[in-house]
Amino acid sequence: FVFTRELSNPEAKCVLSVANRLFGEKSYSFLQEFLTQTKTHYDSELEAVDFRTKCEEARVKINNWVEEKTQGKIRNMVVKGMVNNMTKMVLVNAIYFKGKWSVPFQRSNTREVQFRLNKVTMPVLLCNGRASFIGQILEIPYEGKALSMLIFLPRQIEDNETGLKKLEDLLTAETFMEWTHPHEMEGGEIVVKLPRFKLEEKYELNKVLSSMGMVDAFDETKCDFSGMSSNKGLFLSQVSHKAFVEVNEEGTEAAAATGSLVADSVSYFTADHPFLFFIRNRITKTILFAGRFCSP
């Protein structure tokens, strides 16, 4: 939380917008101690809305708030029908990141090549710049060097497999730290071929959280939110998450371009088939985004 608040500072090189809020039915009263603690520890607030008689108005209000907090990149977070007059509480989380590459890609080098998954082609970026890599792992720093994008690229496409599943099966918290340890990374001049892409994904987390053991919170007959409200029958109706990521020549999302480095002797990193990517704080090792790019 301290790090995300630091990134929200106007002087920060990168911008991270995190939107966390509980929207609760206004006929329910929430304890002040709970509201104080959620604000202090999670920078999250509760807003009372009228689900009972004005659920559509409440839905629009939630969407407007998320859109504002993510600088217009995330819209229509709560679709029609998601909330109704029986809704008691909705937890919303959205995250938006914007950062320039430390060494931007040259837009003039962007061209169409084949992405090796099907016969569709898509714009791919070509950059001569400094990065750190070992085997098929590449680290590209953002301006300011506090954050970077890590790309995990399978070595080969085998038969009908992209190689991504095998990589994911090997990937754990321990192997991630081992593979990306500074002692295992080597700096140098690298030509990077990276797809230009935009991803916007939305997840309904009820089933995911239930599978992780958070079951009672969604069950009106079992949940106990007495630490939040003195009202009976309060339970969590829906947990939603939505994220937006855009990678282009300037960085992640969009920013002003500058020159790039050119080397006489370079290595090559060509991301022309499915890969994993992570946006990480290089100091604290906190992962802000994790994603999978599979096809154009």
pLDDT computed for residue 71 by the predictor: 80
Mean pLDDT over 206-215 rounds to 90
Cα-trace Rg, the chain: 22
- Residue 178 domain-assigned? yes
Q: Do 169 and 107 lie in a common domain?
A: yes
Indicate which CATH number applies to the domain containing 127: 2.30.39.10
- Residue 145 domain-assigned? yes
| Residues 109-138 pLDDT 10s | 666 655 554 333 444 444 444 444 444 788
| Residues 27-51 pLDDT 10s | 888 889 988 998 888 778 888 999 9
Show the tokens assigned to 232: 């009976």
pLDDT at 98 over 70: yes
Show the tokens assigned to 2: 């301290």
The domain of 116 spans 101-195+255-293
Q: Do 94 and 107 lie in a common domain?
A: no
Tell me the pTM.
0.69
Q: What is the distance of C-alpha 199 from the center of its chain?
A: 10
- Residue 162 domain-assigned? yes
Q: How far apart are CA 135 and CA 169, in angstroms?
A: 17
Q: What is the distance of C-alpha 87 from the center of its chain?
A: 27
Which of residues 90 and 118 earns the better pLDDT score? Answer: 90
Q: Do 176 and 277 lie in a common domain?
A: yes
Close Cβ partners of 250 (under 8 Å, ≥ 6 residues apart): 100, 101, 104, 105, 256, 257
Q: Do 287 and 230 lie in a common domain?
A: no
- Residue 151 domain-assigned? yes
- Residue 250 domain-assigned? no
- Residue 50 domain-assigned? yes
Closest CA to 238 of 84, 82, 85, 94: 82
Candidate from 12-16, 60-64, 132-136 with smallest mean pLDDT: 132-136
- Residue 258, SS3 per DSSP: coil
Q: Do 169 and 105 lie in a common domain?
A: yes
Q: Do 92 and 205 lie in a common domain?
A: yes
Q: What is the distance of C-alpha 104 from the center of its chain?
A: 21
Number of domains in the chain: 2
Highest mean pLDDT among 119-123, 225-229, 231-235: 225-229
**Does the CA dihedral 133-138-143-144 come out positive or negative?**
negative
pLDDT at 6 over 70: no
Show the tokens assigned to 153: 């690229």
- Residue 101, SS3 per DSSP: strand
Q: Do 78 and 25 lie in a common domain?
A: yes
- Residue 150 domain-assigned? yes
Confidence of residue 57 (pLDDT cuts 50, 70, 90): very high
List the beta bridge partners of residue 89: 24
Q: Do 61 and 94 lie in a common domain?
A: yes
- Residue 249 domain-assigned? no
Q: Do 75 and 126 lie in a common domain?
A: no
Indicate which CATH number applies to the domain containing 21: 3.30.497.10
Q: How far apart are CA 279 and CA 286, in angstroms?
A: 9
Q: Do 93 and 106 lie in a common domain?
A: no
Name the average pLDDT for the chain: 74
For residue 145, the one-letter residue type is K
